[in-house]
Amino acid sequence: MAENKYRVVHYLNQFFAQIGGEDKANVPPLVREGAVGPGRALQKTLGEEGEIVATVVCGDGYFAEHIEAAAEKVVELASPYQPDVFVAGPAFNAGRYGVACGASCAAMSAKLAIPVVTGLYEENPALDLYRKQVYIIPTADSARGMREAIPRMAAFVHKLGLGQEIGLPQEEGYFPRGFRINQFADRTGAERAVDMLLLKLKGEPFQTEYPMPTFERVPPSAAIKDLRPATIALVTTGGIVPLGNPDRIEAASASKFAAYSIAGVDDLTPDAYQTCHGGYDPVYANEDPDRVLPLDAARSLERDGTIGKLYDLYYVTVGNATSIANAQKFGQAIAEKLKAADVDGVILTST
């Protein structure tokens, strides 16, 4: 063996390791010497400078049912081989295999402090689970993409094996991990923005520094014909919660929403309510929470018969850096509950 060859351990599932198909999905972790299956193609591309010294294999079903224990076992089987780099898959769009690859990589990275990499299709649920901890190379959605993925994965393994610095996702070809890195630009943001605007005004192509998400449009719902029998619900993203924030809704990036009873409550007062929203000056909302969740006004409109009923629960989350995915999830869930409770309309307040 040539000196200074970096050592690689590869992880495969039972299928790619040629042990069997679904019938062998419950195979517990085992290790084979050298490269196996697609590992051989990987080895070929690594050439003389790197060697796949072992391949750890586990059945997809077994791993999915014992994620933590299986990942630990993978580390246990891999470490005697003293790997410099660990590579898993690629798993394409396979869910269980993707999780096995991600979890194995994460465990190897955490326990042995070595660089790790895997390959997944962009819709593989394992992507979001592991992208922060593990380099993940984009692949096609099935093994038809193996031919195409191997050289890219090998190139990445090679860089890791040589201890080279890994640059930005767009340069190196891996999924952005969600880290922000400060960089110095040659011109101020103001200058870059004006230059971009001038190009836009001239109808010339320009490159945005930050792609804006597109939001889906929902057709407007039918209006409420008569308010007098109607049940109206209050919902807020302004973070008005019972004093003490009992459900610990986060001040930013809320992971949840909550419902609280306002049955018999005519007015929100600072001894019983507060805001937990971290994105605006809380002074005014804490002085009088009705300024964000207009309970007193809604209650008086119920009392005078303008509306039939103010729904007994109000829903709250914090709209500060809420992920779009969560916002959609919360909205849908709240709407379902309100519909099930025969609420006729909603006043949603935001700060």
Residue among 48, 68, 171, 216 that touches other proteins (CB under 8 A): 216
| Residue nearer to other proteins on the CB measure, 71 or 268 | 268
Name the DSSP letter for residue 37: T
Cis peptide leading into residue 83 (ω within 30°): no
Check binding of 8 to other proteins (CB under 8 A). no
Least distance (Å) from other proteins to the CB of residue 232? 7
Check binding of 325 to other proteins (CB under 8 A). no
Angle at 329 between CA 327 and CA 335, to 5 degrees: 100
Of 44-52, 105-113, 131-139, 335-343: span binding other proteins (CB under 8 A): 335-343
Q: What is the DSSP string of 132-183?
A: TTSEEEE--SSGGGHHHHHHHHHHHHHHHHTTPPP--HHHHT----S-----
Q: Is 177 left (phi over 0), alpha (psi -120 to 50) or beta?
A: alpha
Q: CA–CA separation, 80 vs 165, rounded Å?
A: 26
Least distance (Å) from other proteins to the CB of residue 273? 14
Check binding of 143 to other proteins (CB under 8 A). no
Check binding of 318 to other proteins (CB under 8 A). no
Contact 234, 294 (CB under 8 A): yes
Question: How many residues touch other proteins (CB under 8 A)?
Answer: 46
Residue among 220, 263, 264, 325 that touches other proteins (CB under 8 A): 220
Residue among 3, 190, 215, 271 that touches other proteins (CB under 8 A): 215
**Sites of contact with other proteins (CB under 8 A):** 215-225, 227, 232, 235, 238, 280-285, 287-288, 290-292, 294, 296-298, 300-301, 306-307, 335, 338-339, 343-351
